[in-house]
Structure 1
Amino acid sequence: MREGAEKIAGEIVDLVEEEEDLLFSFEVPPEAAGTRLDRFLAERPELVAAHLSRTRLKSLIEDGRLTIGPVPVRDASRRLAAGEAVALAVPPPEPAEPQPENIPLNVVFEDAHLLVVDKPAGLVVHPAHGHETGTLVNALLAHCGASLSGIGGVKKPGIVHRIDKDTSGLIVVAKTDAAHKGLSRLFEDHGRKLHLVREYLAFVWGVPERVRGTVEAPIGRHVTQREKMAVVSEERGRDAVTHWELIESFGAASLLACRLETGRTHQIRVHMAHIGHPLIGDSTYGAGFKTKTALLSPAARGAVEALGRQALHAATLGFAHPATREELLFESELPADLAALREALAGN
């Protein structure tokens, strides 16, 4: 039954959206048969150590954070049976209300409804556990000021899609509740019926055998490594589609244009690693390819080592304006570090 509990742990991970959620999984021992669910959890040493009171556990159960087997359970008084697999996802503490911070921004478009920012690598988009300050949201609060009319009744920027901390490039942010709802519908549609273009430039290891292709493979949370995503079964993952095209080859590496049809966490990074061409500089999904730097010239090797991040840039963003319906298209040049990498690889 231990394997069953681990399987359920993997499944519940895919049910929660916060990347920092903590997962606890248990198998009900024979001596605990007939025990109330909330009491059983309150007696688990792991949950005691996490300072989770019985009241807090009951609240988590009622919020749909617990499954028994494959079934979500919201009744804290439910009696348990021996051998049942119980999994509980505990979200991190809510960060403090973000405050305006004077962080420089490269705003490429702005009107009364929204703005488009060219985000530098290293900037976290939204405050979260471990990144409560110094984020794009903090910068936007200072930049927009009184021009924010409110998202859900609160004066804050509306984030409808995110870019990884160490990925650079274009991101659109809503300033009004109406724009937030319109952009949310747009990104949920994934460009199937509504106009949406998201194209990234990715430097990857190796040269694909074809000049273009499509990766269609479900993505879900890695079962044992919580910080990672992975290609998983259809039952455990969400559908994910990436279209790619070879732009330039450098012998040991290539530059690809990757167009997202869906927008899953780490999608391009996971899909490129899945087909054997992980991103250069990606320590999470391409760590096994570090030895490939030996195939590069000293200049190219130096550019890779100086990068310090995955070589991924959100270069093109196009969408229908939620208020005016005008079709907008924005393009961002490679930032200095990736431009230097391209030049070094071209001279390899």
Structure 2
Amino acid sequence: MSDQPLLELRNLVVSYAVWGGVFRHKVGEIRAVDDISLTLRSGETLGLVGESGCGKSTVAKTILNVVREMAPGVELGGEIRYHRERGAVNLLELRQRAMRPFRREIQMIFQDPFASLNPRQTVGQIVDAPLRIHTNQTAKERRERIRWLLERCGLQGSYIGRYPHEFSGGQRQRIGIARALAVNPKLIVADEPVSALDVSVQAQVINLMQDLQDEFGLTYLFVAHDLSVVHHIADRIAVMYLGKLVEIGEADAVYHHPKHPYSKALLSAVPQPDPNRSRAKRQLLEGEIPSPLNKPSGCVFHTRCPIAEPDCSIKVPPLEPKESGQEAACPYV
């Protein structure tokens, strides 16, 4: 792992307009990502965790610069600086055609292996698509590389002519990984790549991703909602709540010594296979998650926080260093 940054998110904001009324006018907005700053170092795995709806998948899609096509009218702010040998480039300023050369270096592994593969195409055609777009290889060279990629991802090269419906969920995700690796990317954004798989298969896929990272020198942004899974693969962990970053630090520090009250609650929700473990140690959150349309003022977590003070509803707490080495957005921990 290098100390050189590969990707930097600087004050990233992603807002979706809410339309309503007879004449369809803007009645509000949802800030899915609210002023987030992150640095992803070359060769590391950064885990991004949080509950469903916290904005972590939006961060992943924004890095790939596909949010504008998926949600026309979305408003983007801040910077996503991708560092290359020739200098840094702000990906948010690039449109589709200008973004195309960077898609070879930034690939994605999708959450649902059943929906992310075209059922009308064979495995060979699926993995071949990025090779046809981004390389000048001949058909024979591409076919040889597809076979090699399948075998490297734990599948047989003879599967090249089969269709996605002939495979299990874990095998389909391996096909998705092979497709992401086809053009030798530097960064892979994995959007909950194991959440749709059985627990026994999850471990196999995560171990495969770690082996491939060592072999290909990959950098991962690993998005998930399960802290125990992220702790197994990540070097650092960043925790999100309602579009805000509430804690970030080394994986062991965040997992074993979480500082922010939300991180503690998220960790206490992880099932432990220990019948003697006391239930009293669990930190349960009260109340419902506030609506993204009407976020609480000040600290967005103060309405559910067990240690909230009166000024938490007024001031937005910045990330501050804590004694365990991580940063947390809470002045009272």
Common fold, TM-score beyond 0.5? Answer: no
| Bigger relative CO (Cα 8 Å, ≥ 6 apart) | 2
With normalisation by structure 2, the TM-score equals: 0.24
With normalisation by structure 1, the TM-score equals: 0.23
